[in-house]
Amino acid sequence: MSFGWPDGTAVFEDLRFAFGAGRIGLIGANGSGKSTLLRIIAGELTPSAGSVGVRGAVGYLPQNLPLGASRTVSDLLGISPARQALHAIERGDLSEANFDVVVWDVEERARAELDRLGLGEVDLDRTVATLSGGETVLVGLAARFLAEPEILLLDEPTNNLDLDARQRLYDAVSSWTRTLVVVSHDRALLERVDQIADLPAGRTFGGTLSEYEEVLAIEREAAERAVRAAEGDVRRQRRELAEAQTKLARRVRYGNKMYENKREPKIIMQERKRQAQVSAGKHRTMHEEKLSEARERLTEAEDAVRDDAEIRVALPATEVPAGRTVLVLDGVRTDAGPIGDLIVGGPERVALLGRNGAGKSTLLRTITGEIPPVEGTVKVGVPMRYLPQRLDVLDDSLSLVDNVRAVAPAASVNEIRAGLARFLFRGDRAERPAGTLSGGERFRAVLAALLLAEPAPQLLLLDEPTNNLDLASVRVLAQALSAYRGALIVAAHDLPFLESIGITRWLTAGPEGLAVT
């Protein structure tokens, strides 16, 4: 199956997949076409070539549900006609039209699904506009479960869900017995699938994400060994070619000398000279062909190595002494509610948990000074940087070098280039405008601008940093934060990510303020 957009941009070329019963995790870099593939399976898009065969009804939960301010939970669940018919019959309207659409237990089934997802208190007539983003996703999921499709498609379902809601979704997914295809970067969710499908390779693997990554690591090691062997072969062929050329040059010089000294008849000398030239040409061609073949094998070996190079960053200037007071909150209250007191000292790594709407983002913005506290004081004792949920900290019209220069004006171009190279932006890549970067490249560039800024940040605030990132970008973020030597405050629901960056202190934002978890 192939698919491309009307402007000529190709998304898939000769893609082949087969999904059976079970839970399939669809992974791949941002821009690899995961959401597009779900839309094709759902029938929203048509392939440019090839076909998609689907057996049974399809339920599709997109990342962004189409919502209307006046729509109700009942509308989103798709049960309003059945409920209206039921209520009409209860009022005595026994028309045939009502009996055609009525489902006698529709409200009981709907409430059971909502209750399973933690929304038992949500009224069916409540308007969607009054729901949080996470509640809306869960209602949408309940609607798909109610419909009982043969194939269920979920696109990043845990985005915007807090920890409690994520756990309920995990449980619901684990109980699904038909075909489920989920696009996600949520590692905890991808540990609950039976199969991994990897775009754009079109590869499937029976097992969870961690099991698939173990296989990839083995394959990568083998591919890297093949690269090293191919590099050695290229060096050997170059050496043999040089040696052969040296020997042939000596033979030609000897032949020329014999010709000049006229030790044999002229006709014989000319024939020997011609044969030597022919022989030299054959030897040179043979060795050049061997060198060319060795280079081709090297290229093939390099292509077999997955493009997931690690960033390796040394950031000594971000180090905070253990006794340094980094942040003090004294009796703070924000618009979202009370926070209380907090002292962060030295290179602490603080995770900020809490339900959606608990005020985590508001607290981070209060610490930055973007929002003044309603009560209390905020004191920051070290240079600070903030990574908001939206990655809009770059100027798209400027090159990466100029973007970093804007936050590190005292650094030389060579210093900036050296810093960008550690984030895998080498050579001409450092001069690319930020607006031309892919999603993963842009995220690396944001990290570079954040961590290479002057003065070096010794306190980083991150707000849901893994939302909307693919798995490769999450790994890059974890690598960068592992090299960081300052203090961290991270608001997130992604527990595997938080554990991977070495959180030392866990706090939960609640109605009474911050509490130790």
Give the pLDDT of residue 78.
87
Residue 458 in this model has a pLDDT that exceeds 80: yes
**Pair 157, 279 in one domain:** no
Say how far apart CA 260 and CA 204 lie, in whole Å. 71
Stretch (H or E) spanning 268:
helix 266-304
**Pair 287, 331 in one domain:** no
**Pair 437, 503 in one domain:** yes
**Pair 334, 463 in one domain:** yes
Of 438 and 442, the one with more pLDDT: 442
In a domain, 167, yes or no: yes
Residue 305 in this model has a pLDDT that exceeds 60: no
Confidence of residue 462 (pLDDT cuts 50, 70, 90): very high
Question: pLDDT tens across 343-380, in order?
Answer: 999 999 999 999 887 889 899 999 999 999 999 999 99
Inter-residue contact 488 to 462 (CB < 8 Å): yes
Residue linked to tokens 């011609």: 274
Cis geometry, peptide bond prior to residue 66 (ω within 30 degrees of 0): no
In a domain, 311, yes or no: no
Confidence of residue 5 (pLDDT cuts 50, 70, 90): confident
CA 70 to chain centre: 35
Of the listed ranges 284-288, 310-314, 428-432, the least confidently predicted one is: 310-314
Identify the CATH number of the domain in which residue 469 sits: 3.40.50.300
Residue 389 in this model has a pLDDT that exceeds 70: no
Cis geometry, peptide bond prior to residue 455 (ω within 30 degrees of 0): yes
Angle formed at CA 171 by CA 165 and CA 174, multiple of 5 degrees: 140
Confidence of residue 265 (pLDDT cuts 50, 70, 90): low
In a domain, 266, yes or no: yes
**Pair 236, 328 in one domain:** no
**Pair 18, 72 in one domain:** yes
**Pair 291, 338 in one domain:** no
Tell me the H-state helices in 175-265: 187-190, 209-261
In a domain, 310, yes or no: no
Give the pLDDT of residue 391.
61
**Pair 445, 499 in one domain:** yes
Give the pLDDT of residue 262.
59
Using the CB atoms, write b or e for 302-334: b if 16+ within 10 Å: eeebeeeeebebebeebebeeebebbbbeebbb
Tell me the H-state helices in 334-491: 360-368, 400-407, 413-421, 439-451, 471-483
In a domain, 470, yes or no: yes
**Pair 138, 181 in one domain:** yes
Question: pLDDT tens across 217-234, in order?
Answer: 888 788 778 878 877 887
Say how far apart CA 480 and CA 486 lie, in whole Å. 12
In a domain, 122, yes or no: yes
Residue 203 φ then ψ, to 5°: -105, 140
Among 207, 236, 254, residue at a domain's last position: 207
Residue 89 in this model has a pLDDT that exceeds 60: yes
Question: DSSP label at 91?
Answer: T
In a domain, 71, yes or no: yes
Confidence of residue 302 (pLDDT cuts 50, 70, 90): low
Question: pLDDT tens across 164-192, in order?
Answer: 889 999 999 999 999 999 999 999 999 99
In a domain, 131, yes or no: yes
**Pair 280, 323 in one domain:** no
Region class of 340: left (phi > 0), else alpha (psi between -120 and 50), else beta: left
Give the pLDDT of residue 41.
94
Question: DSSP label at 348?
Answer: -
Give the residue among 152, 156, 155 at the shortest CA–CA distance from 180.
152
Q: Transcribe 131-169 into DSSP letters.
A: S-HHHHHHHHHHHHHHH--SEEEEESTTTT--HHHHHHH
Number of domains in the chain: 3
Q: What is the mean pLDDT of residues 80-94?
A: 83
CA distances from 334 to 107, 150, 161, 505 (A): 40, 47, 22, 22
Determine the residue type at 409: P
Among 207, 224, 245, residue at a domain's last position: 207
Among 181, 207, 233, residue at a domain's last position: 207
Give the pLDDT of residue 225.
82
Write out the two tokens for 353. Answer: 């948990």
Confidence of residue 467 (pLDDT cuts 50, 70, 90): confident
Write out the two tokens for 261. Answer: 């000294």
Give the residue among 459, 497, 494, 163 at the shortest CA–CA distance from 329.
459
Q: What is the mean pLDDT of residues 129-153?
A: 88
**Pair 199, 226 in one domain:** no
Q: Which domain holds residue 374?
A: 316-516
**Pair 384, 425 in one domain:** yes
Question: pLDDT tens across 45-66, in order?
Answer: 999 999 899 989 999 999 877 7
Give the pLDDT of residue 398.
92
Q: What is the mean pLDDT of residues 117-143?
A: 86
Inter-residue contact 252 to 276 (CB < 8 Å): yes
Residue 194 in this model has a pLDDT that exceeds 70: yes
Give the pLDDT of residue 402.
94
Give the residue among 157, 305, 134, 143 at the shortest CA–CA distance from 219.
305
